[in-house]
Amino acid sequence: MLQDLRYALRTLRKQPAFTAVAVLTLALGIGITTAMFSVAYPVLWRPLPYADPDRLVFVWHRIATDGMRRARISAPDVAEFRAQATLFEAFAFTNNVRDVALTAGDVTDHARLGVVSSNFFSVLGARAMVGRTFLPDEGVIPAAILGDPAAVIPPTALVLSHELWSSRFGGDPTVIGRTVQINGAPAFVVGVMPRGFEVPMPPGVGLARDVVAWTPIRQELERFRRAEGLRDQDSDNTGAVIARLRRGVTLAQAQAEMDAIVARQREAVLAYQDRGVRIEVASLRKDAVAHSRLLLLALFAAAGAVLLVACLNIANLSLARASGRQREMAVRAALGAGRARLARQLLTESAVVAALGGVGGFLLAVWAVPVLLHFAPADVPLSASIGVDLVALGFTSGLTASALLLFGALPAAAAARQTGVVALRSHGVAEGSPRAGVHRRALIVAEFALSMAVLIGGGLMVRTLTALHRENPGFRSSGALTFRLALRAPDRYRGPAERAQLLHDLAQRLAALPGVEAVGAVGGLPLSGVVWTQPYGLEGEPPEAWAGRAADFRVVTSGYFQALGARLLAGRAFTAEEDLVEKGRVVVVDALMARRLAPQGGSVLGRRIAFPLDGRPVTAEIVGVVAHIRHEHLEQDGRESIYVPYRQEASRDVSLVVRTSDDPGSLPGVVRREVSALDPRLPAYQFRTMDDYIRAALAPVRFALTLLSGFGALALALACVGLYGLLAFTVGRRAHEFGVRLALGARPRDLMRAVLAEGGTLSAAGLVIGTVVSIGIARALTGLLFGVRP
- Tell me how far apart the alpha carbons of residues 375 and 225 are, in angstroms, rounded to a whole number: 42
- Long-range pairs of 172-180 with CB within 8 A, sequence gap ≥ 24: 173/130, 175/130, 176/130, 176/131, 178/104, 179/155, 180/102, 180/103, 180/104
pTM of the model: 0.82
- Tell me how far apart the alpha carbons of residues 235 and 243 are, in angstroms, rounded to a whole number: 22
Given phi > 0 = left and psi -120 to 50 = alpha, else beta, which region is 52? Answer: left
Q: Number of H helices and number of E strands within the chain?
A: 23, 24
CA distances in angstroms from 571 to 558, 623, 627, 642, listed in the order given: 13, 6, 12, 14
- Tell me how far apart the alpha carbons of residues 423 and 420 are, in angstroms, rounded to a whole number: 5
pLDDT at position 547, please? 64
The residues, ordered by sequence, that sit 6+ positions from 511 with a Cβ below 8 Å of its Cβ are: 518, 519, 559
pLDDT at position 587, please? 94
pLDDT at position 460, please? 86
Report DSSP state, residue 675: H
Residues of the chain with pLDDT below 50 are 230-235, 420-424, 426-431
pLDDT at position 230, please? 46
Pair 343, 65: CB distance under 8 Å? no
Neighbour-count burial of 531, counting CB atoms closer than 10 A to its CB (0-12 exposed, 13-18 middle, 19+ buried): buried
- H or E segment at 116? strand 107-116
pLDDT at position 235, please? 45
DSSP 3-state of 572: coil
Which of these, 787, 725, 221, 42, lies nearest to 471 by C-alpha position? 787
- Tell me how far apart the alpha carbons of residues 366 and 30 are, in angstroms, rounded to a whole number: 12
The residues, ordered by sequence, that sit 6+ positions from 483 with a Cβ below 8 Å of its Cβ are: 655, 656, 658, 668, 671, 684, 685, 686, 687, 688
pLDDT at position 161, please? 93
- Tell me how far apart the alpha carbons of residues 512 and 510 are, in angstroms, rounded to a whole number: 5
Torsion sign (Cα): 386, 390, 394, 400: positive
Half-sphere exposure of 409 (CA within 13 A, CB side): 8
The residues, ordered by sequence, that sit 6+ positions from 684 with a Cβ below 8 Å of its Cβ are: 483, 484, 485, 671, 672, 675
Domain ranges of the chain: 2-46+290-469+697-784, 88-246, 490-680
- Tell me how far apart the alpha carbons of residues 630 and 645 are, in angstroms, rounded to a whole number: 20
Helical spans, DSSP H, in 41-114: 75-84
Torsion sign (Cα): 398, 404, 406, 412: negative
Given phi > 0 = left and psi -120 to 50 = alpha, else beta, which region is 673? Answer: alpha
- Tell me how far apart the alpha carbons of residues 599 and 271 are, in angstroms, rounded to a whole number: 27
pLDDT at position 429, please? 41
Pair 48, 285: CB distance under 8 Å? yes
- Tell me how far apart the alpha carbons of residues 274 and 69 are, in angstroms, rounded to a whole number: 16
- Tell me how far apart the alpha carbons of residues 780 and 132 are, in angstroms, rounded to a whole number: 46
What pLDDT digit, counting tens, does each position of 210-246 carry? 788 998 887 566 555 555 554 443 445 677 889 999 9
